[in-house]
Structure 1
């Protein structure tokens, strides 16, 4: 299948108001698609299903599923996407009302932390941009071109909405009983180098996420390992990252693991329940799928044995395992009524500065604005 055939098929699906998702994994050359044959709304009930999941921030809400069993699967390699003209937004003309509201919200969060309501909270806002045209395929191609190290996607369901994004953060990858989780937190503008000096606030923010993951997973794993802390680039930003890898105990299911992890302190706060309660009360808008998660659920992956057998024998000994790869829905937008609704936020600790937190959301919004 050629790139032209692939996107023509996606356009037909979209014009027929039928659900689909197209996506490219980080640093991969393949673009995958899952095209549902009807417009029914399916949900993942216990995460034993197979398909592509799209889950909201609030874990009490249902996770939408595009099931493999009623969908056509497509894949195209080496999608070529030339640089596309983009609209450049001037940040010197800021929405003073929105700025004031966000700074006030951040200060409320800092005050609550000082009053020991929680240790950290992630606070966010919406930003709306008017669009002259709303072809999601063009925006998706722009995302592919600009953000090669991100999980790039376009997700559509006529009964839910149209979402696109380029997220730098993995929630969890599971293959058999082995899994890995990314702890990503702390943000600075990228200034041409990864040799970055991090403040204690940013280091503490990242450590909160790492500690939360380890402490909550200990009952479910036989062993775990934490990678060294590193600085990684994501679009026009840099973050602090560690990878936690582990071996699940027998009889631990995926739903149990997700329920203790989501939402993590990287998108909610710590402790989780008190931070989430503050978010739902004070943000004054519905995050919907922003800071939720999305990705492949229980896909089949063939793994070759590690021994040095000849290739002809390898085929006989290859093992098929269930593989799940889920990503946190960051750097994303919803397209609605010729508008792009952009979602941005940041982690707040006791040492946060409200003006700096506002500027961080402005920087994050450029990830999406630069492709519109």
Structure 2
């Protein structure tokens, strides 16, 4: 993968935009490398290229394929040794602040203002590991995730390994997922999901199937099943549908994003509540990203592959800012929810 990693170094040094990524279960790394003026913003999502969208707002950052050098390369994993989970000390004030946020969420849910909220937080980690090494570690560490590295002057440098598909579209056929609930992976025993976790996942499933009603036909959903993503597991439901002839893909994306899995229900009110109470700007965390209207490894047109930007971090100089969250329902326990965010943070801490 030397050609692509050399390109990453060169583009970072010259402050030029790029997107490098590997899809879940794949061994092909794709890179789109742009010039100084190739980065755009878009609201209609009709172009061909790589999109990087924030949690809130209509404008997404877009790297058009026509203005990029596109490289694809098969890789044999692992590319780099994957460190074990690091030991670290939990900051007491961080823990207390997040537990207070969870308590606010539970109170709001019990007052029937919301059926669900997704609380999140951020923490910083010092690292002297170079970017291409971090990406080489990401690839084998989380093979079932969408692993990426994205940079532009507009966004800064982001990396992540997200387990959650927002939407896959192929000539009008739509595939998406409902993903919720979290447990630490245990190879010795099967995951058992409590009522709180099943309820949380059903809220996401119901929202997505209802959101697709206006724009799609033939909507089907699988039974929930356990899905592993690195050191943790989730409950997952696969949902498929057929796009109606007069509906643009961007209309469906705007209906789905942000899903209750990253925001809450009802989602407009939930987004306002989180903005007022989380105490920081999510930026591109829990936004979406991926290929738009082209599959670059196969060359297939009219195919989009978009993911929710979870298990991610923003890197500046020698500091990585981690973004982590969890779904809150009326039965949530603040301390357990904080521990869930700690377990999720290990995804990124391992590769740093």
* TM-score of the two chains, using structure 1 as the length reference: 0.91
Counterpart position of 2:187: 192
Give the counterpart of 2:147 among 149, 152, 177: 152
Counterpart position of 1:124: 120
After superposition, residues 1-372 of structure 1 pair within 5 angstroms as 3-58=1-56, 60-84=57-81, 86=83, 88-91=85-88, 93-133=89-129, 135-193=130-188, 195-299=190-294, 321-372=301-352
Matched residues in 2 for 1:12 and 1:356: separation?
A: 43
Greater C-alpha radius of gyration? 1
What secondary structure sits across from 1:265 in the alignment? coil
Bigger shift: 187-196 or 141-150?
Answer: 187-196
Matched residues in 2 for 1:290 and 1:182: separation?
A: 18
**Deviation of the 1:5 alpha carbon:** 2.3
What secondary structure sits across from 1:370 in the alignment? helix
> CA offsets per residue over residues 30-53 of structure 1, 9 Å max, x none?
000000022454012311111100
What secondary structure sits across from 2:330 in the alignment? coil
What secondary structure sits across from 2:214 in the alignment? helix
> CA offsets per residue over residues 293-349 of structure 1, 9 Å max, x none?
00000115899xxxxxxxxxxxxxxx9640000000000000013100000000000
**Deviation of the 1:79 alpha carbon:** 4.0
User: Any gaps of 5 or more consecutive residues in structure 2?
Assistant: none
User: Any gaps of 5 or more consecutive residues in structure 1?
Assistant: 304-318
Matched residues in 2 for 1:25 and 1:194: separation?
A: 28
* TM-score of the two chains, using structure 2 as the length reference: 0.96
**Deviation of the 1:18 alpha carbon:** 0.6
Deviating runs (4+, > 4 A) in structure 1?
Answer: 300-303
Bigger shift: 76-85 or 5-14?
Answer: 76-85
Distance 1:159 1:300, change over 3 A: closer
CA contact (8 A) 1:180 1:246 kept: yes
**Deviation of the 1:277 alpha carbon:** 1.0
